[in-house]
Amino acid sequence: MIGKWQALVIDCEDPDRLAEFYQELLGMIRVQEDEEFISIGDAADRPAVAFQRVDRLVRPQWPDADHPQQMHVDVLVEDLDAAEAEVLRLGATSLDAGTETFRVYTDPSGHPFCLVLS
């Protein structure tokens, strides 16, 4: 092993808004915060999801290869319909894509993520 995973860092224009979205989606807490960078996780000593302020975000356009997603988060859920209602309430946008076992959305900053039936 060369090292340990510290964080997945996501560029966004509003770290506070995106951190709130993922806190609600994943049930995590804020473990580090300043004006330009916020980390959320299970605890301060565990790997985190972090949000870093950028002045101009070029949003991915799934599944457009000219504006690639570059990464996405898969979230396991027990009920796709109930989870969909909740993420839409939080500000997600449905991309009207998926199958019977997963659905594709974008977070408030336009990053794609999937709800996956567990």
Q: End-to-end CA distance of the chain, in Å? A: 30
Alpha helix segments (H runs only) across 40-115: 80-90
CATH label of the domain that carries residue 70: 3.10.180.10
Express each pLDDT in 20-73 by its tens digit. 999 999 999 999 999 899 999 999 889 899 999 999 988 888 888 888 777 788
- CA neighbor of 52 nearest in space, from 9, 96, 91: 9
Please say whether the beta carbons of 4 and 12 come within 8 A.
no
Please say whether the beta carbons of 95 and 62 come within 8 A.
yes
Which token pair is 62? 């799934």
Domain count, the chain: 2
pTM of structure: 0.84
Question: What is the three-class DSSP state of 82?
Answer: helix
Asked if residue 7 and residue 32 are part of one domain, the reply reads yes
